[in-house]
C-alpha cells in the first residue's frame, strides 16, 4: 500500500470512529426525548395525572433544553465540546434515576427539568466535534449519520421502554434508561482521545464565509437569526407530525388506530432513509438551500393533499413516506447551511442559538395543533404542517442567498 493510500485509509478510519461516537451520543439524546412518553399510562395510573399535567412535563423538558442550548454553545466554545457532551450524558443518567425514585408530581417535574438540562448540550457539542474532527469532504455524510442516529434513538425508545415497563414496571424501565446513559458515558470516556477536538481547521477546499468574532457579537449576524427562524418553523411542522398526525388521520380518514399509530413509524423510517440520500446529495453542490427548497416543496404538497380529506386510503401511507423522505433529504444540507453561516470561532455558540429554535418550536407546536384538534378540524393539522414547511422553504432560500452574498463579498 502506498503512503498516500495508507494516509487516506487512516483518515477514513479516524473519521468513521468520530462519526460513530458522536452518532451514539446523538441517538442517546433522542432516546431521552421520549423517556416518559411511552410510560404515560403507568404514570397516569400511579400518580392520577391528567394529559395536561403529562404534557406540562414535556413542555418543561423543551423549555429547559431550549434555554440551556444557547448557553451551552458559549460553554462549548470556552471549554471545548467533549467535557460538555460528557456532562450531558451524565445528566441523562441522573435524570433517569430521579424519575425512578419520584414519589409525586414535583419530583417528576424536577426529573423532566434535569433531562432537558442534559439534552441542551448535544447540538452545539456534537456539531463542533464533527466540524473539528471530520475531514471536510466527509462532513455531509457525518451530518447524515448524525441525523439517522437521532432518528433511530426516537424509534428505539418506545419499543425498549414499553417492553421493560411491561415486564419490570415503569420504574425498572427508567432504571434501564439510566444504565444505557452510563454505558454510553463509559464508551465515550474510553474513546475520549479520539474525540479530543483540536481548534477548527481552515480547509482550503471548503468555500466558506466564516469570519472571526468575539463574545456575543455573532448575534448581530442576520444569517444566525434567519437560521434560528428556519429551525423554529421546521420544528413547528415536525411537532404537528409527531403529536397529532395519527389522531388527525383517524378523525379525517377514519384510519384504524393501529394503522394511524404506524404512520409515525413510517415517517421516521422514511426520514432516516432520506437522511442517507441527503448526505450524498449535499456533497454534489454548495447550494444547499436548493436541496432544502425542493425537499420542503414536496413535503408541503403532500401535507396539503392530505389536508383535503380526499386522498384514497391506499395512498395515505405513500404520502406520509414521501413527507418523511423529504424531511430527511433536507437534513444534511440544513446542517451544512448553518455551518456556512457560522463564524469561524463561534461554532458552538451559533449551533446553540440556532438549534434552540427547535426546542422553542417543539414546545409550542403541540399547543397550536392540539387546539385545532379540540376544535374538530383535523384537516387544519395537515394544512398547518404544509404551511410551516412552505415557510421553511422561503427561509432556507433567504439564508442561502445571504451566505452567497457574504461569500461574494469575501472573494
C-alpha grid cell for residue 299? 413535503
Structure confidence at residue 202 as a pLDDT band (50, 70, 90): very low
DSSP 136: G
- Is the pLDDT at 287 greater than 80, yes or no? no
With 0-12 / 13-18 / 19 or more C-beta atoms within 10 angstroms meaning exposed / middle / buried, residue 142 is buried
What's the pLDDT at 384?
95
HSE-up of residue 385 (Cα within 13 Å, Cβ side): 31
What's the pLDDT at 347?
65
Residue reference for cell 495508507: 6
What does the pLDDT average to over 208-225? 60
DSSP per-residue string spanning 28-66: HHHHHHTSSGGGHHHHHHHH---HHHHHHHHHHHHHHHH
**SS3 assignment, position 270:** helix
Residue reference for cell 446513559: 181
- Is the pLDDT at 210 greater than 60, yes or no? no
Terminal C-alpha separation, the chain: 39
What's the pLDDT at 356?
83
What does the pLDDT average to over 261-288? 83
Look over the chain and give the mean of its residue pLDDT values, rounded to a whole number: 84
What's the pLDDT at 32?
95
C-alpha grid cell for residue 237? 411542522
Residue reference for cell 456539531: 127
Least confident residue range of 150-164, 311-325, 378-392: 150-164
Alpha-carbon distance of 153 to 261, in angstroms, equals 18
What's the pLDDT at 70?
78
Query: How many C-beta atoms surround the C-beta of residue 27 within 10 A?
Result: 22
What does the pLDDT average to over 117-144? 89
Beta-sheet strands, E only, within 218-303 = none
Alpha-carbon distance of 131 to 125, in angstroms, equals 10
- Is the pLDDT at 201 greater than 50, yes or no? no
- Is the pLDDT at 62 greater than 60, yes or no? yes
Least confident residue range of 45-49, 294-298, 354-358: 354-358
C-alpha grid cell for residue 64? 429547559
Least confident residue range of 63-67, 119-123, 407-411: 407-411
C-alpha grid cell for residue 384? 398547518
What's the pLDDT at 405?
59
pTM value? 0.75
CA torsion, ordered 79, 363, 60, 89, to nearest 10 deg? -40
- Is the pLDDT at 321 greater than 80, yes or no? yes
Amino acid at each position: 500500500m502506498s503512503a498516500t493510500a495508507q494516509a487516506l485509509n487512516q483518515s477514513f478510519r479516524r473519521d468513521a470512529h468520530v462519526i460513530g461516537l458522536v452518532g451514539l451520543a446523538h441517538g442517546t439524546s433522542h432516546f431521552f426525548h421520549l423517556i416518559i412518553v411511552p410510560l404515560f399510562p403507568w404514570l397516569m395510573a400511579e400518580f392520577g395525572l391528567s394529559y395536561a399535567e403529562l404534557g406540562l412535563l414535556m413542555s418543561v423538558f423543551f423549555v429547559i433544553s431550549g434555554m440551556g442550548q444557547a448557553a451551552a454553545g458559549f460553554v462549548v466554545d470556552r471549554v471545548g465540546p467533549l467535557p460538555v457532551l460528557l456532562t450531558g450524558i451524565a445528566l441523562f443518567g441522573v435524570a433517569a434515576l430521579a424519575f425512578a425514585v419520584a414519589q409525586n408530581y414535583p419530583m417528576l417535574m424536577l426529573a423532566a427539568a434535569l433531562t432537558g438540562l442534559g439534552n441542551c448540550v448535544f447540538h452545539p457539542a456534537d456539531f463542533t466535534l464533527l466540524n473539528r474532527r471530520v475531514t471536510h469532504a466527509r462532513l455531509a455524510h457525518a451530518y447524515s449519520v448524525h441525523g439517522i442516529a437521532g432518528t433511530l434513538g426516537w424509534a428505539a425508545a418506545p419499543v425498549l421502554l414499553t417492553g421493560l415497563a411491561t415486564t419490570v414496571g415503569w420504574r425498572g424501565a427508567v432504571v434501564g434508561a439510566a444504565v444505557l446513559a452510563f454505558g454510553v458515558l463509559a464508551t465515550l470516556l474510553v474513546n475520549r482521545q479520539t474525540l479530543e477536538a483540536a481548534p477548527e481547521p481552515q480547509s482550503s477546499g471548503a468555500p466558506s464565509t466564516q469570519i472571526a468574532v468575539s463574545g456575543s457579537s455573532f448575534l448581530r449576524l442576520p444569517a444566525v437569526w434567519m437560521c434560528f427562524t428556519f429551525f423554529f418553523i421546521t420544528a413547528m411542522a415536525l411537532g404537528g407530525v409527531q403529536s397529532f398526525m395519527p389522531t388527525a388521520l383517524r378523525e379525517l380518514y377514519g384510519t384504524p388506530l393501529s394503522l394511524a399509530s404506524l404512520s409515525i413509524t413510517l415517517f421516521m423510517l422514511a426520514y432516516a432513509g432520506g437522511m442517507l440520500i441527503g448526505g450524498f446529495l449535499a456533497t454534489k453542490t454548495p447550494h444547499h438551500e436548493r436541496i432544502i427548497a425542493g425537499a420542503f416543496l414536496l413535503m408541503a404538497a403532500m401535507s396539503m393533499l392530505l389536508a383535503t380529506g380526499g386522498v384514497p386510503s391506499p395512498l395515505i401511507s405513500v404520502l406520509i413516506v414521501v413527507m418523511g423522505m423529504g424531511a430527511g433529504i433536507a437534513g444534511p444540507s440544513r446542517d451544512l447551511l448553518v455551518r456556512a453561516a457560522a463564524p469561524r470561532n463561534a461554532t458552538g455558540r451559533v449551533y446553540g442559538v440556532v438549534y434552540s429554535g427547535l426546542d422553542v418550536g417543539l414546545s409550542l407546536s403541540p399547543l397550536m395543533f392540539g387546539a385545532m384538534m379540540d376544535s374538530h378540524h383535523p384537516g387544519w393539522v395537515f394544512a398547518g404542517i404544509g404551511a410551516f414547511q412552505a415557510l421553511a422553504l422561503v427561509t432556507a432560500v433567504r439564508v442561502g442567498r445571504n451566505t452567497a452574498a457574504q461569500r461574494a463579498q469575501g472573494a
